[in-house]
Each structure stands twice: as C-alpha cells, then as structure tokens.
Amino acid sequence: MTCCKCEEHKWDDPQEVVYTDPANGKEYCLFHAPADCKGISVDAFNEKALERIKAASVSGGVDVLCNLSGTIFPGDFNAKGHDFPAINLFRAVFTQGAHFGGARFGGMAIFSDVHFGGKVNFNKARFKTGAVFSGCRFKGYPNFYRANFAGETSFSKAIFDEDTCFDMAGFEEAVDFTSAHFLGGAKFSGVSFGAEALFKGVSFACGTKFTTVQVKGVIVFDAIQAAEGAVLEFVDCIVSPSVLVFQNCDLTCCDFSLQRDLTNIHFVNSSWENKCRIKPNGEDQKGKLQLTRDFYQRMKAKYKGENNEYEASKWHVAEKEAQLKLFRWNGESKFLWIMLWLYKFVSGFGENAARAFWVLIGLAVLPLLALTCMGVVHHSPWWDFDMAGIHQIIKDWLKFIPLARTIGEDEPGGLHVLMIFWQLLITLQAALFAFALRNRFRR
C-alpha cells in the first residue's frame, strides 16, 4: 500500500507509509501524515523537506518540478536564503510560520490553495519564472517586502487575514489579485508594477495604502469593495505615461488628497457621489479638508483639460462646498463665507440654472407681493379695491424691475435707494441665471 495523498496529488515517487488512520484505515507518508502523527521532530521533518527540494534541484536544475503538494508542515518551516527549483506546494499546510526570506525560486513556484497558519515571510525573495498564490489563506502576517516577481504572478482568491506588506515589491510581469480579500490592512508603498496589474472584485476590510507606487503598465481596479470605514489611500503614485483605471467602483472609500498627478488616472462608470453630490473620503475630516479641497481643484482641472465639462461641473461644486466648510471651520473670513453661501443658494455655484431661474422669478415677484399687501392693508374694505389702485401698484412695482420704468425723483429717499438696490439684485441674478444656463448647455 502507498500513501493515499501521494496518489491523490500524483507524486511520481510515492513515499513510505508512516501512519495509518485508525478511523478509516487510510495510510499516509511522512509528508502527508497529520502534524502530530509524523513520529519525528519538527526540525527533522524540515530537514527531510529541504533534502527533497535539494535533490530535485541537483537532479535537473530549476526545470525539474519538486512535488510537495499536500504536504503538512508540523511547525515553523525555515528556508531563508535557500535556492528552489520549480516547486509545487499545491494545498500544502504550514501549521505555523513559513519563512522564505531571501529565497530564490529559479522555476515556477506553485503555492495554490496553501494554508499558512502563522507568520509568512517572503522578504526579499526572488521569483525568477512565475509564482501562483491563488486561493491561499494567510492566517498570519504576510510579508513580501522587497520581493521580486520576474514572471507572471497570481494572488487571485487569496485571503489575507492580517496586515499584509508588499512594500518595495517588484512585479516585472502581469500580476492578478482578482477576488482577493484583505481582512487586515495592506501596504503597497514603493511597489513597482512593470506590466498589467488587475484588482478585480477585491475586497478591503481595513485601510490600504498605495504610496509612491510606480506604474509602468496598466493597473485596473474593477468593482472593488471596501468595508465601512476602510480607506484606500493613494499618495504620489507615479503613473505617467502609463494608466491607472478605476471602473465600476464606489470611489467614496478612496482618498486621493495627496495624489498630485491625476493626468493618467481614469474613472470609468465609477461614482464619487454621496448624498447626491461628489464627496470622496476625507472631506469631513477637519485635518484633511484643505488637502481634499485642493484635490477637488486638481480633478476639475483634469476634466477641463479633457474637455469634459459635465464632470468638471461636478468637481467645481464639490470644491466650493469644501471651501464653505473651510471658511466655517477656520472661523475666518465671515464675509467671504456669507458671499459664497449666497452664491450657492441663488445659483448652485453657477451650475444650477433651474435654481437661478426661480430665485430670479422670486426677486421679480416679491416687490409686487409686498406692494399688494401694503395696498390691501391701507385700503379698507379690501373688496372695494378699484382699478386705479391696481394700476398704481403695477406702476410702483415696475420701478423695482430693471429697464421697466424710470424711478421718479419724487420718491422718498429710503424707497428710492431700495428700488435701485433691488434693480441691482435682479440684474445680478439675471447674470447668474445666464451664466448657469450657459454652463448647462456647454456640457
């Protein structure tokens, strides 16, 4: 009889049986026996595993596949600085830590569906051909600091339970994070993406930072999901002349307030809106409001440069809303705050033609209503109000309307000033209405 797992994983050299499960009679070799049923110490087991790796490397170099699929590592496995041939660890289980710091993988490295039960260290590891971490479960703290991936790499459907570090890692070829789950925080500071990087359907449960990332290919964030309170922060990423694309995303979880260059960052079918207006993460944080306002300005300039007046209009409104908060929170420039608030109220910052129109109508009709009420009050009984009185009210009302009727010199001083002031208000509102209407049709 041979090990049932060797048969299942199609090992070319089935191993000697060292343990038989009394419950079902299945037999297991040293590599596939349960962690507490191997009959040797952790160090002795690790030596056996490293001997198998070395033997494969010696017999055929990096091209010979070392099959350790399904292997159960009973304790900390330390392979720091070791040279690996092509290796298959499909569905292996590391019950505790797995340390591959500085290791060199000369052939394909297959870690598909591996369970890492403790800390995982690939610090400065080098993958010369390709690496597959699809479906892995990282229970510890994965560390890929300065790891170099020279071939295509996949972390699709991987689950990262704790904080994950990819700082200064280099991906020379395409990398795929499709449907990965980051249950802890993640850091991608200084990462270099040399080809396409795909973050499709990735979920983020905690804060994630993309700081000074170098984009030499195309990075696509597609239908990403973030838990409430989780913020994806992008800081000084170097994108030009490549492209960073967000599509089908809810971008209210993203913070670009420290991302200076937005030229080659594109947003496709993605929403920034919160409560019917653009409002990304950061605006409600007093310490970041100035930075957020500046980001709004950069986004407005970006879309103006692309001749996209529709989007530029949205960012213009967001910028002015943030400026209102700045005036209020800083307690400075009360006059400017009042003027900006009035600009919002009467025309939606020059972007809402309907509001500007109705305010204009209100300004025109208000004197008529006031004069009518005064005429009724001073004429008793009101039902005897004659046509002469109505005609006089209309004549007086037209004095409040620009270009409708000349204000007589016999008007009392206060009323004369009020009429001039009201004509000025209507003129300004008419100009705002025309400006807002022009902005609407310019889109």
- Region 177-202: what's the mean pLDDT? 96
Q: Is residue 373 one of the residues assigned to a domain?
A: yes
Q: Is residue 263 one of the residues assigned to a domain?
A: no
**Tens-place pLDDT, residues 372-391:** 887 766 665 555 556 677 77
* Residues whose CB is less than 8 angstroms from the CB of residue 163 and which lie 6 or more positions away in sequence, other chains included: 141, 184, 185, 186, 187, 206
Q: Give me 223's structure tokens.
A: 């239908």
Cα dist. 244→171, 196, 234, 267, 431 in Å?
A: 16, 10, 11, 9, 40
**Tens-place pLDDT, residues 158-167:** 999 999 999 9
What is residue 373's predicted lDDT score, i.e. its pLDDT?
82
Q: Which residues of 44-71 are buried (b: 16+ CB within 10 A; e: fewer)?
A: ebbeebeebbeebbeeeebebbbbbbbb
Is it the case that residue 226 has pLDDT exceeding 90? yes
Q: Is residue 363 one of the residues assigned to a domain?
A: yes
What is residue 10's predicted lDDT score, i.e. its pLDDT?
92
Cα dist. 30→48, 71, 94, 97, 296 in Å?
A: 9, 9, 15, 19, 61
Is it the case that residue 7 has pLDDT exceeding 70? yes
pLDDT band at 405 (very low <50, low <70, confident <90, very high): low
- Region 328-347: what's the mean pLDDT? 86
Given a contact cutoff of 8 angstroms between Cβ atoms, the answer to whether 324 and 341 are in contact is yes
Q: Is residue 387 one of the residues assigned to a domain?
A: yes
User: Domain containing 392: what range?
Assistant: 353-442
Given a contact cutoff of 8 angstroms between Cβ atoms, the answer to whether 166 and 142 are in contact is no
Q: Is residue 362 one of the residues assigned to a domain?
A: yes
Tell me: cis bond preceding 381? Omega within 30 of 0 counts. Answer: yes
Q: Which of 71, 75, 174, 79 is nearest to 121 (CA)?
A: 79
Number of domains in the chain: 1
Q: Is residue 397 one of the residues assigned to a domain?
A: yes
What is residue 442's predicted lDDT score, i.e. its pLDDT?
74
Cα dist. 198→153, 208, 318 in Å?
A: 11, 16, 30
Is it the case that residue 281 has pLDDT exceeding 80? no
Is it the case that residue 212 has pLDDT exceeding 90? yes
Q: Is residue 423 one of the residues assigned to a domain?
A: yes
- Region 324-332: what's the mean pLDDT? 82
Q: Is residue 413 one of the residues assigned to a domain?
A: yes
Burial (0-12, 13-18, 19+ Cβ within 10 Å), 345? exposed
- Region 160-183: what's the mean pLDDT? 97
